[in-house]
Amino acid sequence: YGEQNSQAFMDAARQGAIREQELQRVRDYANENPMTGALGSGLIGFASGIAHIPQAAVNAPLELADKALGTDTPKLPRWGFAKEANELAAANSPAVANKELGQAWKDGDFGAMVATNLAQNAPSSAMSMAAMFFPPLRAALLPAMGGTTAGQSYAEGDSAIGSALKGGMEVLGEFASLGAFDGIRAAANKLPLPQKTALAAIVARKIAQAGGEVTAAAASNFIEEAVTQLGQNAVDKYVEHKNVALTDGAMKAGVIGAAAGAAHASPVIAQRAMQPGSVQAVAERAHAIRRALPRYRPAAVAKARKGRRARGQRMVEPDLGIRIVLFRDDDRGARDILE
């Protein structure tokens, strides 16, 4: 019996040594290829989180019932690959991604730290970006993001209650961030713009509106990620009884969140600057110029001082560069157009 135990111990130690060698090769590769390693780490953690959503969802109320009734109800177990997935995700995370803000700045690795963290968070960032710019999808995306966060936390060893709390904080944080994003973007789009020339004003307005979205996304994401990290630290400290400070990683999470938010919204600048769009005549209802019917008259040329609000209604900004279709059966003459 003693020899069997000794042999089993030696086999386990041998397997452990082999596993450690494999993980070390992964670490070396991740440090040599930090962006690839960070993306792989994020994908592994994301997949493990999705796989453990059922366990976190089912076990959380069971754990609450056990605490209230003093029972010990059987729970859904973690998948057998959970430990290996956690180890592989950690091994794929490059060393530069794990540096704190101050150390990364001191070492000249601040940009690399931000970039690798963005790559590591790419799966969840893609969902957050979709929620930003496609509001109808939010009802499905927000619960999915919360569930993935809860599942990943549970896969990493947290209790189901703690995991569910972290998932709920993720949903609330995203909801608040999206609300702030929508509000800041709407306010930024209403700001007055320099009236230099007609073309410059039009282009400036479009770029400024897009720039407002970039600013809104960065600011709202900073707040959301920092607050979410504070909440998750509170769960770790008071629910999971881990030795962490409430502010651990909060500033770093905010900086990474701001960078992710700006990256989400940046493509809007090019799209806004090149988009033809529709133009509204002075103090009149909007005309869909590109979809005009024969009975509609073009709204591209403003009448002189219509309504005596030339400056307030931006008479100097008709966008004559967009595609305007004139129909041969109505208002076809130069006199009609100028009128």
Convert the pLDDT of each residue in 139-180 to its tens digit: 899 999 999 999 999 999 999 999 999 999 888 888 877 777
0.95 exceeded by pTM: no
At 285 the three-state DSSP class reads coil
Task: Return the SS3 of 72.
Answer: coil
In the chain, % of residues over pLDDT 70? 63
Question: pLDDT category, 134, cuts 50, 70, 90?
Answer: confident
**Better pLDDT: 77 or 193:** 77
What is the tens place of the pLDDT at every residue in 54-63?
A: 999 999 999 9
Higher-confidence residue: 337 or 163?
A: 163
Asked if residue 336 has pLDDT above 70, the reply is no
CA separation, residue 70 to residues 73, 77, 157 (Å): 10, 20, 22
Closest CA to 327 of 302, 286, 295, 288: 295
Pick from 57-66, 176-185, 192-201, 214-223: least confident: 192-201
Q: Hey, how many other C-beta atoms are within 10 angstroms of the C-beta on 163?
A: 32
Report angle CA 96, 98, 99 to the nearest 5 degrees: 70
CB within 8 A of 82, min separation 6: which ones?
48, 52, 155
Distance CA 223, CA 126 (A): 18
- Residue 182 CB coordination number (10 Å): 14
Q: What is the pLDDT averaged over residues 329-335?
A: 57
Q: Give the mean pLDDT of 104-118.
A: 89
Mean pLDDT on 78-103: 91
